[in-house]
Amino acid sequence: MFEIIASIIDGILVGSVYGMAAMGLTLIWGVMNVINLTHGALIVAGMFAVFLLVQAFGVSAYVVAPATLAIGFFAGVAIYWIAVQRMIGRPPLMSLLSTFSVNMILIGLGTSLWGTVLFNVEVSLPGLTLGNYTFPGTHLMAAALTLLIAVLLYFFLQFTRQGKAIRAVSGNREAAELVGIPTRRVLAMAFGLGAALACGAGALIATMFPFTVLAGGAYQLKSFVVTVLGGLGNPAGALLGGVALGLVEGLTTPFIPVSWTSVIEFVIFIFVLIAYPRGLFNFTFRRS
Amino acid sequence: MTPLRFLRQPFFWVIVAMTAVFIAWPLATGDVRLRESLVLAAVYIILASNLNLMLGYAGYVNFGSIVFFGLGGYVGVYLISEQHWHPVAAALAAGISVSALALLFGLGILRLRGFYFALSTIGVNEGVRAFVSNFAPWGGASGLYISLDSYQSLGGPRQALWTIYILLVGVMALSLLLSFGIKRSKFGLGLRAIGQNEDAAGVLGVPTPLYKALAYSISAFLPAVAGSFYFFKSAFIQPVDAFDLGFSVEVIVTVMLGGTGTVAGPAIGAFLYEELRGWLLTSPAFSNFQLVIAGALLLAIVIFAPGGVMGWIFRHIPKMRRILE
Amino acid sequence: MKRAFLAAFAALLLTVPTFAVTARADEITIGFTSSQTGALNVDSLAQLRGFEMWRDDVNAAGGIKAGGKSYTVKFVTYDDQSQGARVQQLYTQLIVQDKAQFLFSPYSSGLVATAAVISEQYGALMMSIGGAEAKTYQLGNKYLFQTYTPADNYLTGALEVVKSKKPNGTVALVYSDDPFSKAVAGAVRTQAPAMGLKLVLDESYPPDQTDFSAVINKIVAAKPDALLGGGHYPDGATLARQIYDKKAGIKWVTLLVAPDSAQFATLGPAATGISVPSQWAPEVTYKPDFGPTPADFAKRFQAKFNTPSDYHSAGGYAGGLIFQHAIEQAGSIDPAKVAAALDKMDITTMFGRFKISTDPKSHGLQLTHQMVLTQWQMKDGKLVKPVIWPRAAATAPILYPIK
């Protein structure tokens, strides 16, 4: 019995990180109708950023985490101007391919530099122990930080000028332009924000698990699933979707062989896509 | 279009000529390395042409098109190695069963549009991969091996490789003819109407759900047959190779490179891409960076020449429109 | 008369340089692919270095000597990107275009199987190094020779340790769903009960599994004395780290592959006590019939590449060494004669024993090479990895229980 409760809690903790990883993807998708296929590479960039900064300055990973957000933002803006800006308004295939090609370039550079060697960021944080089961401090901290970032994101989008500009552009680009909002700059900023979230997620993941240059792929796939569960363009939904995914993993593992978990995940994925295309958690963040 | 009119199209003869070259060139020179290179090119062309039916004509991005190839491979290898079927019969069975399955999947996912459809195709591919990894009769994650005497039905391994090559070239020719035939047919017109504006097409009387389902199912048949032949040649199939999402994306790239919505485009794109990758891999200067170069090339095409090679040709040599499709 | 004599002498003089040049031009071309990119990159590179060191050693000593001639070794190699499709294309090119006379295998069981289809078709001799799965040798080959211990015997040593420390103990088997790990797990399933050990958990996880929290909870709930399994690098390392983070308190943990890398030490305290079966370790005390001793190899490898040797590089070196010995025994570079020599061999190198099966149903399967078990232990504040099993080759006591 305790095993099931423990797995549920573990699922929620890890799931919140899946949610954070997906927030950036769903934001970009919702704002500019672009699926950012560099998402996985940005997550890996966040992982490496944390690793290198910790190595260079010898401080705790959590101290350098905000820096990874900044790195992600600038990387995102750069990617936007290079690969995405011209694709706005064109058929969806174009932006898929342009972001995919940037992803190939980034991963290619990464493997030439670091091969597929394993990296680990050591973080010692006391965990929470209940009976035989311990919840690692890093997981608790990551979940807490994810919640914090989600709240900050909400306030940013709802109450700041730039946030409102982003929401205006995502709602109706022509109207936004008509009222004088510099749409291209706003789109760049939104992309940068999405990238920052991806990098930040990578940084948190690096505190919890060892990683390689190729680690982004699995998280990108999970981000797709979470985005669909949570509803496109809905960061809050992404967080809940992530938790839901984590819950599925936590709930199924005690009962069935672990190798069947992915099959179940994808069946749920397709089911939600077909039956609930707006997502399971779509509290209207933006009307469309 | 009646069969006779078909024969009078110059492009038909272009396809025939190309097939003849593919068969004659390596056979005449006995150059095995060339054959191996052309096999991969043929596979890319088959996958690209059939993908084009959904992607180029109907405008539906199928990210997981590799699932047909992989499932076809599994059905084929299973029938050959465990049930001792003849390779050609097994390939046909693979084609039929996989397109039937595609019809079934299609009924579910074809009501989705745009990105949602694209994502669902990824879901289908990954779900099938996860399932096959757990499916014991097909070897689960360990995969299936073909023992060397399974090649005896085609005259031994060395002879079999040539026969399989010719069969694959045949499938390639069929893919191109199919693509061409559909493009000039009422069915193809309907698909392209869907690609332009699905709702308007529906209003104008195009039976959109039926056409989409047919296109999805048809686009599964020849890749499944090809998969069966290809994995028989490789003598080994495992889930991670058969359902490689990266390969699927590469096929999309080739269609882009050649020019979506044309018949020659995917073939040209596939051929160029395969040659480029093969060259990059074996060139000592570039092999470390081949992923970077391929990515940069793709980016350049998407930004500067989205019509692909065919787009460029049609723009600069308008007369080619009468010959090439 | 004098002129004729002078002319003949001049002619003779002219032939001497050409004769010498011909002797220098005797080469053996060995073809293979390595995974310079893709997931198998790290291990494949180590194996490649082993090959290169052997080639440099052999050429520095004047080449392989057979039938009165000396042959320099030349490599032709390509990147297979860790992909089966490339392997077939490239091995065909190696045989047909680059005219490689002999082949080394790619790294990893799946790629060896794919390459073997090509090598067998052309009757090309291939030294299989870096492939542990046994199935490949049961498909009816004639020219394939395995140097590694087959997957079946990977965890036998670990089971023996568990049996010696806790007879009738319980074992949890949790492994990655890939061909290699599945083969290893299959063997554990039959060997454990035969040793009186009970399997209380037997599960596989998808190779790209990112989080093992729920899996570890499942292990903890089963209360095993020992955990065996894992797969490759990322999953093995993550499993080890999470076992530590979650204070699972398992008394004995043996994982495949991941803990063998020097990089595993970056896990810090999470690495302590984790053991790994290895095809070889620098501390082994084999007495070779020819070639360098293990210690000598390890020292020179470190000096040459500025990185420690491991079983991948040792395997690569040994593969070359064994191949060389076969040519020398056969006295010729005729593949059929070299194959016959390999069939007869029963020797020991710095890597261990080499003797393959000549039964046509399992030709080439390695029969005598043994695994060693190494364990990460803290010594003077640093993590080291001594050999702990078999006890005859051990250099440190077994740390049990590990937590």
Q: What is the pLDDT of residue B277?
A: 76
Select the residue from B37, B165, B281 to test the C interface by mutation, using most C Cβ atoms within 10 A: B281
CB atoms under 10 Å from CB of A269, counted, come to 24
Mean pLDDT of C338-367: 92
Query: What residues of B are in contact with residue A29 (Cβ under 8 Å)?
Result: 115
Q: Domains, chain A, ranges and CATH? A: 2-116+131-275 (1.10.3470)
Mean pLDDT of C184-201: 93
- E-assigned strand segments in A123-241: 128-130, 133-135
**Is B282 an 8 Å CB contact of chain C?**
yes
Nearest to B52 by CA among B277, B251, B224, B194: B251
**Is B127 an 8 Å CB contact of chain A?**
yes
The amino acid occupying position C244 is Y
Question: pLDDT digit string (tens) for B182-219?
Answer: 988 899 899 989 888 888 888 988 888 889 999 999 99
Does residue C53 contact residue C301 with C-beta atoms inside 8 Å? yes
Mean pLDDT of B249-257: 84
The CATH number for C153-278+372-393, chosen from 3.30.450.90, 3.40.50.450, 1.10.490.20, 3.40.50.2300, is: 3.40.50.2300
Nearest to A196 by CA among A13, A32, A38, A15: A38
Query: What residues of A are in contact with residue B110 (Cβ under 8 Å)?
Result: none
Query: What residues of B are in contact with residue A97 (Cβ under 8 Å)?
Result: 252-253, 256, 298, 302
> Kind of pairing, strands C372-375 and C352-354?
unpaired
Q: How far is C202 from chain A (nearest CA, A)?
A: 9
Q: Which of B294-298, C229-233, C343-347 has the lowest mean pLDDT?
A: B294-298
* Sign of the CA dihedral with A38 first, then A40, A46, and A51 last: negative
Which other chains touch chain C, taking contact as 3+ CB pairs less than 8 Å apart? A, B
Instruction: Give residues with Cβ within 8 angstroms of B21, minimum separation 6.
Output: none
Does residue A133 contact residue C217 with C-beta atoms inside 8 Å? yes
Nearest to C174 by CA among C85, C242, C116: C242
Whether residue B40 and residue C89 make contact (CB cut-off 8 A), yes or no, is yes
Q: Which of A118-127, B154-163, C42-51 has the lowest mean pLDDT?
A: B154-163
Classify the phi-psi angles of A33: left when phi > 0, otherwise alpha if psi is within -120 to 50, otherwise beta.
left
Residue of chain C with shortest Cα separation from B139: C179
Residue ranges of the domains in chain C?
22-149+284-362, 153-278+372-393
Q: What integer best gives the mean pLDDT of chain C?
A: 87
Tell me the pLDDT band of A287, cut-offs 50, 70 and 90.
very low
Mean pLDDT of A85-99: 83
Instruction: Give residues with Cβ within 8 angstroms of C76, minimum separation 6.
Output: C29, C30, C31, C94, C98, C100
Indicate if the pLDDT at residue A53 is higher than 80: yes
Q: What is the pLDDT of residue B283?
A: 64
Query: What residues of C are in contact with residue B128 (Cβ under 8 Å)?
Result: none
**Is B161 an 8 Å CB contact of chain C?**
yes
Nearest to A27 by CA among A226, A180, A179: A226
**Is B209 an 8 Å CB contact of chain A?**
no
Higher-confidence residue of C323 and C67: namely C323
**Is A109 an 8 Å CB contact of chain C?**
no
Which other chains touch chain B, taking contact as 3+ CB pairs less than 8 Å apart? A, C
Question: pLDDT digit string (tens) for B105-114?
Answer: 888 888 888 7
Mean pLDDT of A187-198: 94
Does residue C252 contact residue C165 with C-beta atoms inside 8 Å? yes
Does residue C149 contact residue C378 with C-beta atoms inside 8 Å? no
Q: Which of A112-121, B79-88, C375-384 has the lowest mean pLDDT?
A: A112-121
Residue of chain C with shortest Cα separation from A109: C37
**Tell me, what DSSP letter sits at residue B57?**
I
Angle at alpha carbon of residue C311, lines to C319 and C360, rounded to 5°: 45
Indicate if the pLDDT at residue A272 is higher than 80: yes
C-alpha distances out from residue C319 to A71, B1, C114, Å? 47, 63, 19
Q: How many inter-chain contacts (A to B, CB under 8 Å) are there?
A: 118
| Cα separation, C248 vs C246, whole angstroms | 5
**Is B114 an 8 Å CB contact of chain A?**
yes
Whether residue C114 and residue B235 make contact (CB cut-off 8 A), yes or no, is yes
Does residue B109 contact residue B127 with C-beta atoms inside 8 Å? no
Q: Which helix (H) or strand (E) holds C32?
A: strand C27-34
Cis peptide before C401 (omega within 30 of 0): yes
DSSP string, A50-67: HHHHHHHH---HHHHHHH
Q: Which of A143-147, B46-50, B248-252, C269-273 has the lowest mean pLDDT?
A: B248-252
Select the residue from C76, C108, C177 to test the B interface by mutation, using most B Cβ atoms within 10 A: C177
Residue of chain B with shortest Cα separation from C116: B235
Q: Which of A179-193, C48-62, C74-88, C356-370 has the lowest mean pLDDT?
A: C74-88
**Is B122 an 8 Å CB contact of chain C?**
no
C-alpha distances out from residue C300 to A112, A149, C153, C203, C348, Å? 27, 52, 30, 42, 20
Among B8-12, B213-217, C9-13, C259-263, the range of highest mean pLDDT:
B213-217
Whether residue B299 and residue A105 make contact (CB cut-off 8 A), yes or no, is yes
Tell me the pLDDT band of B2, cut-offs 50, 70 and 90.
low
What b/e sequence results for C270-282 when a residue is b if at least 16 CB atoms lie within 10 Å of its CB, and e otherwise? bbbbbbbbbbbbb
Tell me the β-bridge partners of C347. C354
**Tell me, what DSSP letter sits at residue A162?**
H
Q: How far is C114 from chain B (nearest CA, A)?
A: 6
Q: What is the pLDDT of residue C287?
A: 87
CATH superfamily, domain at C22-149+284-362: Response regulator (3.40.50.2300)
ipTM here: 0.83
Does residue A100 contact residue A37 with C-beta atoms inside 8 Å? yes
Mean pLDDT of C366-394: 89
Residue of chain B with shortest Cα separation from A112: B288
Whether residue B115 and residue A260 make contact (CB cut-off 8 A), yes or no, is no
Tell me the pLDDT band of C1, cut-offs 50, 70 and 90.
low
Query: pTM, whole model, 2 decimals?
Result: 0.82
Select the residue from A8, A114, A116, A248 to test the C interface by mutation, using most C Cβ atoms within 10 A: A116
Select the residue from A31, A93, A100, A223 to test the B interface by mutation, using most B Cβ atoms within 10 A: A93
Whether residue C78 and residue B33 make contact (CB cut-off 8 A), yes or no, is no
The amino acid occupying position C49 is R
Say if C22-149+284-362 and C153-278+372-393 have the same CATH topology.
yes
Question: pLDDT digit string (tens) for A6-47?
Answer: 888 999 999 999 999 899 999 998 888 888 999 999 999 999
Whether residue C97 and residue B291 make contact (CB cut-off 8 A), yes or no, is no
Q: Which of C25-39, C224-238, C322-336 has the lowest mean pLDDT?
A: C25-39
**Tell me, what DSSP letter sits at residue C116?**
H
Instruction: Give residues with Cβ within 8 angstroms of A151, minimum separation 6.
Output: none
Indicate if the pLDDT at residue C158 is higher than 60: yes
Please provide the size of chain A in residues: 288
Instruction: Give residues with Cβ within 8 angstroms of B119, minimum separation 6.
Output: A224, A228, A273, B63
Mean pLDDT of B106-125: 86
Query: What residues of A are in contact with residue C247 (Cβ under 8 Å)?
Result: 127, 129, 134
Does residue B112 contact residue B120 with C-beta atoms inside 8 Å? yes
Q: How far is A57 from chain B (nearest CA, A)?
A: 30
Provide the chain B residues 125-154 that lie in CB contact (below 8 A) with chain C: 130, 133-134, 140-143, 145-149
Q: How many helices (H) and strands (E) does chain B have?
A: 15, 2
Higher-confidence residue of B159 and A64: namely A64
Query: What residues of C are in contact with residue B142 (Cβ under 8 Å)?
Result: 135, 178-179, 182-183
Tell me the β-bridge partners of C128. C146
DSSP string, C360-383: GGGTT-B-S---EEEE-EEETTEE
Residue of chain C with shortest Cα separation from B274: C86
The pair of three-digit structure tokens given for residue C393, joined into one six-digit string: 């080759």
Whether residue C177 and residue B140 make contact (CB cut-off 8 A), yes or no, is yes
Q: How many CA atoms lie within 13 A of A81 on its CB side?
A: 7
Indicate if the pLDDT at residue A170 is higher than 80: yes
Query: What residues of C are in contact with residue A2 (Cβ under 8 Å)?
Result: 221
| Cα separation, C107 vs C123, whole angstroms | 20
Q: How many CA atoms lie within 13 A of C219 on its CB side?
A: 30
C-alpha distances out from residue B261 to B52, B57, B192, C344, Å? 6, 5, 8, 61
> Kind of pairing, strands C387-389 and C372-375?
antiparallel
CB atoms under 10 Å from CB of C14, counted, come to 10
Indicate if the pLDDT at residue A286 is higher than 70: no
**Is A277 an 8 Å CB contact of chain B?**
yes
